[in-house]
Amino acid sequence: MTIADTSDNRAHKAACATSEATRKSAVDTALAAQAAGGSSTTCTAAIKAAEIAHYQRIVVSCLANGLNSAEFVQAAKWVGTQA
């Protein structure tokens, strides 16, 4: 189940789906760059940045649509600290 599936709010679902597509594209790009000879450290940093940005976009959507954002704020923190 994706994050977009957890809400009945259509605007939030759309924002989550768009964010997930953006996150997936960024991760795929980072992995392709590594496969082409790029640094694994750079790849990891790019994936981490994509994950954090994804959760931040979801938080913004939650706030804009009157939904609880706490779990996504925490997820962004966990990704950022690798907790």
What are the pLDDT digits (tens) for 23-57? 999 999 999 999 999 999 999 999 999 999 999 99
- Tell me, yes or no, whether 1 lies in a domain: no
% of the chain at pLDDT higher than 70: 89
Residue 78 confidence (pLDDT): 87
- Tell me, yes or no, whether 2 lies in a domain: no
Number of domains in the chain: 1
Long-range contacts of 12-15 (CB under 8 A, 24+ apart): 12/61, 12/62, 12/65, 12/67, 15/57, 15/58, 15/60, 15/61, 15/64, 15/65
- Tell me, yes or no, whether 60 lies in a domain: yes
Closest by CA to 48, choosing from 74, 77, 13, 70, is 77
Residue 21 has pLDDT above 50, yes or no: yes
The answer to whether 79 and 46 are in contact (CB under 8 A) is: no
Which residue range is the domain that position 25 belongs to? 11-81
Residue 4 confidence (pLDDT): 53
